[in-house]
Amino acid sequence: MNILEALKDEASKLQRQLDSVNTAIKVLGGRNGAGREKKRPVSAAARAKMSKAQKARWAKVRGAKKSA
C-alpha cells in the first residue's frame, strides 16, 4: 500500500467519525436549537420583583465599597 492510499483510507475513516459526532450533536440538540424548550414568559410583577431584588444587591455592593 502506498502512502496516497493510506492517506485516503485515513481520510475516509476520519470522515465516518466526524459524521457520527455530528449525528450525536444533532441528537443532543446542539446545532439548530432543536429539542430546546421555549422560554417561559415572565409576568410584569415578577420582572418588577426581580428588578427590585437586583437593585438591592447592587446597592449592597456599592455600600460595601464606600465603607471599605
CA distance 32 to 22: 12
Q: Which residue has the cell 459526532?
A: 21
CB neighbours of residue 26 within 10 Å? 13
pLDDT score of 50: 97
pTM above 0.75, yes or no: no
Number of C-alpha atoms within 13 angstroms, CB side, residue 1?
8
pLDDT score of 31: 52
Cell of 46: 415578577
Q: Which helix (H) or strand (E) holds 58?
A: helix 44-67
CA distance 45 to 56: 17
The per-residue pLDDT for range 12-48, each reduced to its tens digit, is 999 999 999 988 888 887 655 555 677 889 999 999 9
pLDDT score of 56: 95
Which of 7-16, 24-33, 50-59 comes out lowest in average pLDDT?
Answer: 24-33
